[in-house]
Amino acid sequence: MPKIIFITSDGTERVVDAATGQSAMEVALDNLVEGIDGDCGGLAACGTCHVYVDPDWIGKTGPAAPGIEQEMLALTDNVQETSRLSCQIKISEELDGLVLRMPEAQH
C-alpha cells in the first residue's frame, strides 16, 4: 500500500495509506487531511485540491496536464512550478512515499 505524505503550509506532516487507483485528492478526503477541499469531486473543475508536488517527485507524477488542469491552475492563487490539482494525480506503487505540500488555503 503506497504511503502519501501531506504537509500543511505551517509544516505539519500527515502520513496516510493510499490505495492504488485512487487520486491523491480522494486519499486526502478519505483520511480527513485538512487543507484539501475537493469541491468538484475530482473533475479538475474547481481548483480546491491544489498542491505543490515535492520537486524530487515531480518527475514521477508529471507536471500539470494540458487542457482543463492547466486552465484551472492558471486561475488559482499562488501557483508554482510544481503545482498540480491533486485530483489529477493517480496513485500507483511507483508513488509510494510521494510528498505533497498544501497551500495556505484553497480558493
Partner 1 sequence: MKTQAEHAEIARTIPLDKIDVSNPELFAIEALHPYFARLRKEAPVHYCAESAYGPYWSITKFNDIVAVDMNHKVFSSDHTNGSFVLDDTTLNAVEGGISLPNFLGMDPPTHDVHRLAVAPIVAPQNLLRFEAKIRERTKNVLDSLPIGETFNWVDRVSIELTTMMLATLLDFPFEDRSKLTRWSDVVTTRPGYGLVDTWEQREQELMECLAYFQELYAERKKLPPQPDLVSMLAHAPSMQNLTPTDFLGMLVLLIVGGNDTTRSSMSGGAYAASLFPEGFAKAKANRALISSIVPEIVRWQTPISHMRRTAIEDIEFQGQKIRKGDKVAMWYLSGNRDEEVIDRPMEFIVDRPRPRHHLSFGFGIHRCLGNRVAELQLKVLVEEILARYSQVEVVGEPVRVPSNLIHGFIDLPVRLHA
From candidates 3, 60, 90, 107, binder to partner 1 by CB under 8 A? 107
Cite the DSSP H helix spans in the chain. Answer: 24-30, 58-61, 68-73
Cβ proximity of 44 and 52 under 8 Å: no
d(CA 95, CA 61): 8
Nearer to ligand FES, 33 or 85 (CB): 85
Query: In the bound complex, what is the minimum distance in angstroms from residue 92's beta carbon to ligand FES?
Result: 18
Site string for ligand FES, 31-70 (x = CB under 6 A): -------xxx-xxxxxxxx---------------------
Under rule CB under 8 A, residue 65 binds partner 1: no
Q: What is the largest CA-CA distance in the chain?
A: 34
From candidates 1, 19, 43, 65, binder to partner 1 by CB under 8 A? 43
Question: What does the block give as the cell for 15?
Answer: 502520513
Cβ proximity of 46 and 40 under 8 Å: yes
Interface contacts to partner 1, rule CB under 8 A: 29, 37-41, 43, 45-48, 68, 71-72, 74-75, 77, 104-107
